[in-house]
Amino acid sequence: MNTSTHQSYIQTVLGPIKPDQLGFTLCHEHLYHKAYTRYFVPKPLENKYSHLNSTPVTIENLWHTVYHPHTHEDNLDLTSTAVQNAIGDELKFFKRNGGSSMVEVTTFGTDLAKLAEFSRKSGVNIIGSTGFYVHQAFSESIRSKSIENLYETMKNELISGVNGIRPGVIGELGSCWPIDSFEKNVLIAAAQLQNELRVPVIIHPGRHSEAPFEIIRIYTEAGGIVSKTIMSHLERTLDIEQLIEFAHTGVICEFDLFGTEISYYEAASHFDMPNDATRIRLIQKLINEGYDDHITISHDIHTKHRLMKWSGHGFSHILLNVIPKMISRGINVKQIDQMMIKTPCRWLTINI
């Protein structure tokens, strides 16, 4: 890939940067997308106030939105001018508070030009993505594509870019449970492409404890490189014993729902969403087991109600609140730098 005079680089939406320019990095965020309930909640529960799901998100109805974030339709739309302006302001706030880089992992309705604009105005390095989310997010014409076609689509975007702007990561690649045939084909195509180009990959597992293990089985059999691969959302997928077993695979383990402090989880009613204190304890356990260089953390902000303008925690929550909490719980600065700077850098760096 003839992209840089440097032997090692990280591809941002404004071009390649040197690895030592990456700095403090959030590896799993969303800055521009419009999602739909069917991506998250196959069978939404009806309740007395379900009619609020078709109304705009306001301060007055946040009491409903907080508990039903994925069925409140307006909450899933980040494309309006008001939301985009709020996100632009948050990126500047993130930069002022020590943030340096962010990986934007939307793989449906992606707008790399918008990400480039955000990066220019805020000074935050933004790494864009290519790939495919869960099968519900695509038409039959996309879902019927062959492995070869999926492979070529992602490869072309990585090498040639989209309107001249190149993504720097594959994913988040979406997977449900059981894994849909389209999702399996995407995993195989991405593994083959990663094996060829040595690019970073990030995966969204289905909401079942077997999902991450099955994904990695399919992925490695197809040639995927686990040390260059992040498995997302593990705090809502695996318990501590399963987590340690999964870490043995060599995959980078991501805890990316920081700021979600409510146990009610409408996308998987069988599972209670942990809070930040529990996430920190899971991370401590992995560190104690010797996996401190296989951890990344983020917020996965993909709904309006988690933005500061709508009374949410925002993109600076980890910087302002989580890291001080980690330090108070015995995680040291060196370990924090590993998960916030060094491991993201190792994952994102492309060697040519």
Contact call for residues 134 and 183 (beta carbons, < 8 A): yes
Distances (CA, A) of 110 to 96, 118, 162, 165, 189: 26, 14, 10, 12, 19
How much is the mean pLDDT over the chain? 96
Contact call for residues 153 and 161 (beta carbons, < 8 A): no
Q: Tokens in use for 307?
A: 């933005």
Query: Quick one: pLDDT at residue 42?
Result: 77
Share of the chain above pLDDT 90, in %: 95
Residue 56 phi, psi (nearest 5): -65, 150
Q: What is the pLDDT of residues 122-136, one digit of tens each?
A: 999 999 999 999 999
Of 75-89, 116-130, 256-270, the least confident: 256-270
Residue 29 phi, psi (nearest 5): -140, 170
Provide CATH code, domain 8-42+81-351.
3.20.20.140
* List of E strands, 18-135: 25-29, 101-104, 125-127, 129-130
Nearest to 100 by CA among 8, 19, 4: 19
Q: Cα(187)–Cα(73) distance, rounded to whole angstroms?
A: 29
Query: Quick one: pLDDT at residue 2?
Result: 46
Q: What is the pLDDT of residues 275-299, one digit of tens each?
A: 999 999 999 999 999 999 999 999 9
Contact call for residues 296 and 254 (beta carbons, < 8 A): yes
Query: Quick one: pLDDT at residue 128?
Result: 98
